[in-house]
């Protein structure tokens, strides 16, 4: 009985959360295993490119448009490509990626992964940077991250913390690595959350073969100011920053005014989000209010006061019954048997709703038919009464003759009186 009670609780949780909008189903933060999963394909990028990918991922709509442009101009790369899109209405971080068309091609093939990556970076920047370092340590321990002709790999100490730095071997020439995460990081430590893999576009990696799990495509040359991002690896304060001098040299129409002309912290620009909803309440409250008209888009962004009140009431009811929605979701995610039972229950519930709806329709039809029959009978009765009144006495010949004789006598009397007056 106890096991059945738990299962029923899980099914209730499953049915309850199945009716919620996607934004409401998500927890406020990503777990470490989820962060490792989504960071796996980019953690071994050069620091500056990694920083710009993280920034650009927070503008997924712009990434889609930039990828279209890049596909239509496949031979544009480096600073020349960035200058070619100077007038485009995209965030500067997204414009910077047209210098690396293969990166945009891989990002456009995984739009959902890119949006999750951007959501994670907005909500948990310090934790994102910490997990990147963990992934780099894993790759280094597996012997798959070292200095070569494409990159320089070094270890630095910052505030007593050892961090791994990756830089291009030649400042103006950048190689973008593509690798098999399940190989370069060694045995993956979260089997339930296998790492994402961004398959390389053949156009930029023709005939490429994985060596120790990594394939290097053609070099991107002509990078002078296109790489203006940087990483702040300080534990617990991790973020990305901007080299103002390089940024201003390539973004002449959108300069940063900085007296020191050094590095400055990057800040997300909500106006460039292009209406893409933010994932969690904290991020929505932080950025939505900075955009004019954001309150009018509450429904689109998953915020409906009436629905939120209903959800809170339902959650309170579940809590009173001893049901933990978070544990329920976890068990549904990790236990195939429980998930299968929940799915079966949901299907059966759908069939029951369909059956009940059909029964209601049949009942309504029967009631309507009965009402029509009653109306027809009432109409027939009314017509019958009218007919009876009109023909009343027709079935009594004697009475009819009396009425006829009485009528004839009246006419004769009227004629006699009328004739006397004419004679006089």
Digitized pLDDT (tens) for each residue of the chain, 424 residues in all: 545 455 455 444 444 444 444 444 456 899 999 999 999 999 999 999 999 999 999 999 999 999 999 999 988 999 999 999 999 999 999 999 999 999 999 999 999 999 999 999 999 999 999 999 999 999 999 999 999 999 999 999 877 789 999 999 998 999 999 999 999 999 999 999 999 999 988 888 877 777 778 989 889 999 999 999 999 998 777 789 999 999 999 999 889 986 666 789 999 999 999 999 999 999 999 998 666 544 444 333 344 445 555 566 666 666 666 666 656 655 655 666 666 676 665 556 555 555 666 676 667 667 767 677 667 776 666 665 555 544 444 445 455 455 545 555 555 555 555 544 444 3
Tell me, yes or no, whether 27 and 17 share the same domain: no
Is position 347 within any domain?
A: yes
Q: What does the pLDDT read at residue 338?
A: 64
Is position 335 within any domain?
A: yes
Contacts of 146 (CB under 8 A, 6+ apart): 140, 153
Tell me, yes or no, whether 48 and 191 share the same domain: yes
Q: How many domains does the structure of the chain reveal?
A: 2
Tell me, yes or no, whether 270 and 337 share the same domain: no
Cα 231 to chain centroid distance, Å, stands at: 28
* Pick from 324, 261, 269: nearest CA to 55: 269
Tell me, yes or no, whether 227 and 96 share the same domain: yes
Is position 232 within any domain?
A: yes
Q: Is 98 within 8 Å of 64 (Cβ atoms)?
A: no
Tell me, yes or no, whether 229 and 343 share the same domain: no
Instruction: List the domain range (segments joined by +) for residue 11.
Output: 1-21+325-390
Tell me, yes or no, whether 17 and 47 share the same domain: no
Tell me, yes or no, whether 264 and 385 share the same domain: no
Tell me, yes or no, whether 283 and 381 share the same domain: no
Q: What does the pLDDT read at residue 420?
A: 44
Tell me, yes or no, whether 11 and 86 share the same domain: no
Is position 343 within any domain?
A: yes
Q: Which of 297, 316, 339 is the last residue of a domain?
A: 297
Is position 414 within any domain?
A: no
Tell me, yes or no, whether 283 and 190 share the same domain: yes
Tell me, yes or no, whether 83 and 151 share the same domain: yes
Is position 411 within any domain?
A: no
Is position 88 within any domain?
A: yes
Tell me, yes or no, whether 194 and 172 share the same domain: yes
Is position 107 within any domain?
A: yes
């Amino acid at each position: 009985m106890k096991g059945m009670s738990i299962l029923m609780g899980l099914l209730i949780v499953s049915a309850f959360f199945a009716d919620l909008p996607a934004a409401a189903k998500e927890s406020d933060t990503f777990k470490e295993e989820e962060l490792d999963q989504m960071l796996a394909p980019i953690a071994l990028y050069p620091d500056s490119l990694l920083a710009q990918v993280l920034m650009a991922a927070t503008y997924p709509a712009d990434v889609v448009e930039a990828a279209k442009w890049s596909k239509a101009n496949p031979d544009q790369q480096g600073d020349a490509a960035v200058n070619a899109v100077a007038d485009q209405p995209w965030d500067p971080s997204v414009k910077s990626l047209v210098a690396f068309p293969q990166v945009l091609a891989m990002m456009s093939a995984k739009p959902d992964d890119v949006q999750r990556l951007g959501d994670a970076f907005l909500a948990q920047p310090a934790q994102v940077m910490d997990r990147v370092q963990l992934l780099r340590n894993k790759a280094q321990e597996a012997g798959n991250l070292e200095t070569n002709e494409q990159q320089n790999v070094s270890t630095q100490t910052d505030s007593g913390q050892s961090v791994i730095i990756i830089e291009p071997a030649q400042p103006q020439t950048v190689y973008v690595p593509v690798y098999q995460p399940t190989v370069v990081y060694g045995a993956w430590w979260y089997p339930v959350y296998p790492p994402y893999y961004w398959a390389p576009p053949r156009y930029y990696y023709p005939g490429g073969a994985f060596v120790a799990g990594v394939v290097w495509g053609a070099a991107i040359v002509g990078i002078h100011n296109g790489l203006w991002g940087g990483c702040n690896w300080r534990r617990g304060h991790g973020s990305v920053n901007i080299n103002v001098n390089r940024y201003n040299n390539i973004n002449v129409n959108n300069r940063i005014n900085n007296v020191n002309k050094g590095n400055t912290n990057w800040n997300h620009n909500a106006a460039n989000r292009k209406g893409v909803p933010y994932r969690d309440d904290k991020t929505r409250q932080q950025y939505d209010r900075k955009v004019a008209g954001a309150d009018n888009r509450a429904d689109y962004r998953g915020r409906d006061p009436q629905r939120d009140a209903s959800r809170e009431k339902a959650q309170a009811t579940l809590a009173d019954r001893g049901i933990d929605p978070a544990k329920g979701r976890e068990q549904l995610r990790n236990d195939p048997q429980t998930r299968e039972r929940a799915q079966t229950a949901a299907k059966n519930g759908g069939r029951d709703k369909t059956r009940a709806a059909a029964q209601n329709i049949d009942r309504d039809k029967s009631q309507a038919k009965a009402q029509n029959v009653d109306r027809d009978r009432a109409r027939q009765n009314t017509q019958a009464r009218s007919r009876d009144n009109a023909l009343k006495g027709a079935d009594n010949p004697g009475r009819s003759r009396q009425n006829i004789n009485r009528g004839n006598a009246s006419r004769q009397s009227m004629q006699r009186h009328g004739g006397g007056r004419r004679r006089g």
